[in-house]
């Protein structure tokens, strides 16, 4: 069964040659750089023109040809002061060398196209409040720069975004700065305060700020404990949070905002979670004693650089965040 023995391929230290041979048999080297030099000389009939084509010195080109001929144990070219002539062995090798190099070039081009298509799509994570009110402007600007790049947005909670970035499903996330995961890093962009959202005609609507104690028995809408905002508020208030009248609980900020608009109750939201401007008929009132803030940032895989298109999107996010301050 000698004819069915498996073949192994070895990369040589030069990085330019492969050795192919049956197991337990002597290896035969395929010198691709030498073949490239040989084809260039044969097609141009001159060491000078071939060296210019390959961006090599004539000395380097001569070394490559000598090495190829030494490896084969055959003379492929006859070089005189005026011309270069192929030997019979050279004439026999030329069409085969062309075919081999053409096939190798085609394979490299195919791999380059694969790499290019890989970067024509970017996936990101983004907090729902930012995705609703701010991400559309960022994506519009990004789309104008990269009309052929598709974007997948995971508008999830901070906890879910961390998992998506860690798994590689998202290249980066626009999220809150929280406890770091060992293989993730977050770069802060913006600190924003939490505000009380209420109708303009409410007693608090005419105030510049109110204290948490003033809220007293006022009916409030609480966001789900799955949301990072809820955790920040609970941690800042401590036991005082139980003295507040949390009459309703919802899963998303926009649901709470809609309920406030209907004068059902008031809610606590990050300042920029409602967009650049407060919804019509509502007022965003500052909170004190304590004042609570959250920090937004870019979450990414530690030590793993972003793709060029993702890096450009991050820069657009940074510019947008600067306008939000």
- Structure tokens given for 272: 């920029």
CA distance 298 to 226: 20
Q: Residue 265: what pLDDT?
A: 96
The predicted pLDDT at position 122 comes to: 92
pLDDT for the residue 124: 96
Last residue of a domain, one of 90, 117, 144: 117
User: What pLDDT is recorded for position 116?
Assistant: 64
Instruction: Give me the CATH number covering residue 272.
Output: 3.40.190.290
Same domain, 166 and 307: yes
Residues 104, 6 share a domain: yes
Q: Where are the beta strands (DSSP E) in the chain?
A: 7-11, 17-22, 28-31, 77-79, 84-86, 121-126, 150-154, 172-176, 184-199, 209-211, 220-223, 246-250, 266-270, 282-288, 293-301
User: What pLDDT score does 6 carry?
Assistant: 40
| Residues 170 and 113 occupy one common structural domain | no
Instruction: Note the pLDDT of residue 8.
Output: 36
314 and 185 in a common domain: yes
Structure confidence at residue 195 (pLDDT)? 95
Grouped pLDDT means (10 residues each) for the chain, 325 residues: 40 38 48 91 90 92 92 90 88 92 86 68 91 92 92 91 93 83 88 94 93 94 79 87 92 90 94 79 94 93 92 95 81
Q: Are residues 46 and 90 in the same domain?
A: yes
**Which pLDDT score is estimated for 279?**
84
Domain, as residue range, for 70: 2-117
312 shares a domain with 284: no
Beta bridge partners of 220: 246, 266
pLDDT value for 3: 44
Check whether residue 80 and residue 163 sit in a common domain.
no
Please identify, among 91, 117, 143, the residue that sits at the C-terminal boundary of a domain.
117
Query: Can you tell me the distance from the alpha carbon of 286 to that of 307, in angstroms, rounded to the nearest whole number?
Result: 40
pTM of the model: 0.60
**Domains contained in the chain, number:** 3
Whether residues 146 and 167 share a domain: the answer is: yes
């Amino acid at each position: 069964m000698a004819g069915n023995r498996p073949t192994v391929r070895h990369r040589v230290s030069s990085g330019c040659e492969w050795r192919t041979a049956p197991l337990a048999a002597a290896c035969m080297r395929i010198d691709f750089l030498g073949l490239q030099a040989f084809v260039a000389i044969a097609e141009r009939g001159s060491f000078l023109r071939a060296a210019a084509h390959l961006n090599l010195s004539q000395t380097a080109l001569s070394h490559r040809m000598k090495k190829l001929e030494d490896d084969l144990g055959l003379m492929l070219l006859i070089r005189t002061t005026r011309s270069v002539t192929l030997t019979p062995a050279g004439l026999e090798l030329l069409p085969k060398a062309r075919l081999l190099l053409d096939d190798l070039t085609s394979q490299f081009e195919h791999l380059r196209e694969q790499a290019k298509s890989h970067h024509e799509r970017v996936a990101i994570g983004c907090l729902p409040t930012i995705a609703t009110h701010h991400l559309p402007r960022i994506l519009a600007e990004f789309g104008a720069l990269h009309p052929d790049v598709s974007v997948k947005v995971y508008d999830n909670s901070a906890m879910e975004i961390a998992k998506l970035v860690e798994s590689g499903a998202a290249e980066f996330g626009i999220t809150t700065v929280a406890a770091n995961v060992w293989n993730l890093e977050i770069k802060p962009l913006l600190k924003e305060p939490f505000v009380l959202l209420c109708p303009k005609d409410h007693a608090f609507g005419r105030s510049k700020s109110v204290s948490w104690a003033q809220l007293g028995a006022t009916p409030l809408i609480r966001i789900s404990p799955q949301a990072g905002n809820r955790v920040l508020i609970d941690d800042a208030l401590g036991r005082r949070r139980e003295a507040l009248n949390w009459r309703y609980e919802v899963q998303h900020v926009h649901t709470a905002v809609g309920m406030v608009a209907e004068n059902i109750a008031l809610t606590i939201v990050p300042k920029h979670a409602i967009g650049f401007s407060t919804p019509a008929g509502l007022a965003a009132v500052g909170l004190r004693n304590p004042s609570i803030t959250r920090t937004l940032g870019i979450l990414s895989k530690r030590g793993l650089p972003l793709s060029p298109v993702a890096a450009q999107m991050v820069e657009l996010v940074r510019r947008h965040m600067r306008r939000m301050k």
